[in-house]
Amino acid sequence: MKNLVVLTGAGMSAESGISTFRDAGGLWERYPVEQVATPEGYAANPKLVINFYNERRKQLLSVQPNKGHLLLAELENQFKVTVITQNVDNLHERAGSRNVIHLHGELTKVTSSLQPNNPKFIRELRPENYEVHWGDKADDGSQLRPFIVWFGEPVPMIEKAIEYTESADIFVIIGTSLNVYPAAGLLNYVRPGVPVYLIDPKEVKVTSGHKINVIRKGASEGMEELKNVLQKEFV
């Protein structure tokens, strides 16, 4: 089985109704990034940040994986699929994808404010307990915070993502502007000659030596086209 590595961004989940951050009307227009997605914002107003992510979790209860997520999961029947996602939702997992690397953390998890990347303190929340309150403590006694990689924090999973990218036989990019690093730099680790496909309804500026096969469609329609291409070319 060929190694199919897929990098996904906000456009992957947009069709499911998850608000994107960067588009017009997106979350950054309503909540300044400095307030809700930086360590400084959390230090200044932790209750605001905790409530912001409570609202994001509640949104998960009202959305479902879209056809793009489902088609990507189906490809596991024919390829060894690794999904590297910049998204913090759990829609890939709910669609059935089994090997998902979350670069920017996971919305359904909380952790210690003092040692956010210590596995001892990372805890999965059940849907009935998605609300975190001020005063809820991690096992080290610190306030529970979202298990999210904020701007200015290290990205612990990037090394693992690079390893998978270097072993890719096919590399696919879906619904990401390729503006956020280090995720945007993963394309530089794709081996020369490996086919690269990009699914996005909008133009994405790619600075890379790779030939990019562009599918100018949304995640669901784009995945349908990609699935047909992959089955003809590689199965």
Given the residues 69, 92, 102, 104, the one annotated as active site: 104
Torsion of CA 131, 136, 137, 142, to 10 degrees: 100
Q: pLDDT (tens digit, 9 = 90+) per residue, 29-82?
A: 567 778 888 999 999 999 999 988 998 898 899 899 999 999 999 999 999 999
The stretch 137-159 carries a mean pLDDT of: 96
Tokens of 80: 């060894």
How high is the pLDDT of residue 28?
Answer: 46
Percent helix, strand, coil in the chain, to 5, is 35, 20, 45
Question: Facing residues of 5 across strands?
Answer: 82, 171
Give the whole-angstrom CA distance, residue 217 versus residue 228: 14
Q: pLDDT (tens digit, 9 = 90+) per residue, 192-218?
A: 999 999 999 988 888 777 889 999 999
92 belongs to the catalytic site: no
Q: Which residues contact 110 (CB under 8 A, 6 or more apart)?
A: 122, 123, 125, 132, 136, 138, 144, 145, 146, 147
User: Of 181, 186, 182, 183, nearest to 163 (Cα)?
Assistant: 186
Mean of the per-residue pLDDT values of the chain:
91
The stretch 167-194 carries a mean pLDDT of: 91
Residue 3: phi, psi to the nearest 5? -80, 115
Strands 105-112 and 123-124: antiparallel
pLDDT above 90 for 19: no
How high is the pLDDT of residue 235?
Answer: 74
Give the whole-angstrom CA distance, residue 111 versus residue 163: 26
Residue 30: phi, psi to the nearest 5? -95, -30
Q: Calculate the CA 76 to chain-centre distance.
A: 18
Right CATH for 1-17+65-104+156-235 from 3.90.1170.50, 3.40.50.11310, 3.10.129.10, 3.40.50.1220: 3.40.50.1220
Give the whole-angstrom CA distance, residue 212 versus residue 196: 5
pLDDT exceeding 70 applies to what percent of the chain?
Answer: 95
Tokens of 170: 């096919």
Give the whole-angstrom CA distance, residue 211 versus residue 220: 23
Q: In 3-state terms, what secondary structure has residue 128?
A: helix
Give the whole-angstrom CA distance, residue 147 versus residue 149: 7
For 19-62+109-148, CATH gives 3.30.1600.10
Q: pLDDT (tens digit, 9 = 90+) per residue, 21-41?
A: 554 444 545 677 788 889 999
Q: In 3-state terms, what secondary structure has residue 137?
A: strand
The stretch 98-103 carries a mean pLDDT of: 98
The stretch 156-163 carries a mean pLDDT of: 97
Domain coordinates in residue numbering, the chain: 1-17+65-104+156-235, 19-62+109-148
How high is the pLDDT of residue 217?
Answer: 96
